Homo-oligomer: A and B are copies of this chain.
Amino acid sequence: MYIIKIGGNVLDDPERLQRFLIDFAALLGPKLLVHGGGKIASTIGLQLGIEPAYVEGRRLTDAETLKLVTMVYAGLINKNVVAQLQALGCNAIGMTGADANAIPATKRPVKTVDYGFAGDIAGPETVNANALEALLQAGLTPVFAPLTHDGQGSLLNTNADTIASVLATALAPHYEVKLVYCFEKKGVLADAEDDDAVISHIDQHRYSSLKAEGVVKDGMIPKLDNAFAALQHGVSAVLIGEAEALPSLATAQGFSGTTITLKHG
């Protein structure tokens, strides 16, 4: 099965989103979509007088911001994606981690920074995989907004990449899972200045070399570390590429972005 994460840059562009959803709906077999936030949350937040605050690239989620992201992520974005997928013949069901108790989490403990209502997921073993399997077996396609819950009545704002990775790992014992991250580049690049210099395949050995050579650096390192962690926990492949690469999943040439596996083969 495919677990696909789509980021805010696509959600912010209605035409690009529509093309992506057409490609997603056309994928055969069981599948699951995780979407991020997008600029619309900040825009609506400003209208409501909620100023976005960040520390080290992470949004602080105070009580007002939690209301905002619940409205925008779980309401506006999630339900419009679901309605659009339904129009494309994909029987989507929109969810957060609170629905069906799919993803229990813990409010991030305050150390030096109080991130507010930010949720950390203990691990894939906390995911309610049975409920997700029941939905998938009923022919439904879960569409996740990036929210979890603490089991005590509060929703929690949670990173969409993390949700995708945890769901992929939790479902790996039940399905052959390919985890696909759609982001703003065509894949992992051999040359940061050349958008077409996509490295088509990275295994653990190659990853060590790429890091040693300084080709892979900065923000790509945690992304790839997470990818290898998912692979070590049973996910069969992690694919990184742009939203437009989705149709290439089904071609004989394979995925046009970067495919990540533990071993070459």
Contacts and interface: CB of A to CB of B under 8 A. Distances in A.
Chain copies in complex: 2
A122 interface: no
Contacts of A67: 76
Given A72-B71, A76-B71, A138-B134, A149 B83 contact: yes
Interface stretch (A92-100, A158-166, A249-257): A92-100
Interface in A80-132: 80, 82-84, 86-87, 91-96, 98-101, 131
Contacts of A151: 86-87
Q: Secondary structure at chain A's binding surface: helix, strand, loop or mixed?
A: helix
A98 B79 contact: yes
A98 B83 contact: yes
A86 B72 contact: no
B131 A87 contact: no
Given A82-B99, A83-B98, A83-B153, 8 more contacts: A44-B71, A47-B47, A70-B76, A71-B71, A74-B78, A86-B101, A131-B140, A134-B134
A-B pairs, top 3 by smallest CB distance, nearest first, are: A75-B75, A71-B71, A134-B138
Interface of A: 44, 47-49, 67, 70-76, 78-80, 82-84, 86-87, 91-96, 98-101, 131, 134-135, 138, 140, 147, 149, 151-155
